[in-house]
Amino acid sequence: MLSRVVTIRLRVPEWVSDEEVERIVREIEERLESSVPVSALRRMLGVREEDLVDRLEPIDWRKLEEKEKERLRRLYKP
């Protein structure tokens, strides 16, 4: 994954333990890693502006699920 190292200095109250500061920093780190801007994803995947579809048709997931169940039944039919 694309990342960079950033050095941050924090001033925390004395009553906050080092463990608590470390926990908070790790939580922030996890949040940052779990979200990726769409523009960054497009760049990483090589998706150009002209490749984008303006309108997507809704998918009937129930019908799709039933088709897949039927396909698996046929595939594993004894």
Q: Report pLDDT digits (tens) over 15-61.
A: 999 999 999 888 888 887 777 777 887 887 888 888 777 777 788 88
Alpha-carbon gap, residue 71 to 16, rounded angstroms: 58
pLDDT of the residue at 20: 92
Contact in structure between 39 and 77 (CB atoms under 8 Å): no
pTM, entire model: 0.41
Q: Between residues 45 and 75, which one has the greater pLDDT?
A: 75
Task: Look up residue 12 and give its two tokens.
Answer: 């925390």
Number of helices (H) and strands (E) in the chain: give both, helices first.
3, 0
Task: Look up residue 53 and give its two tokens.
Answer: 């579809």
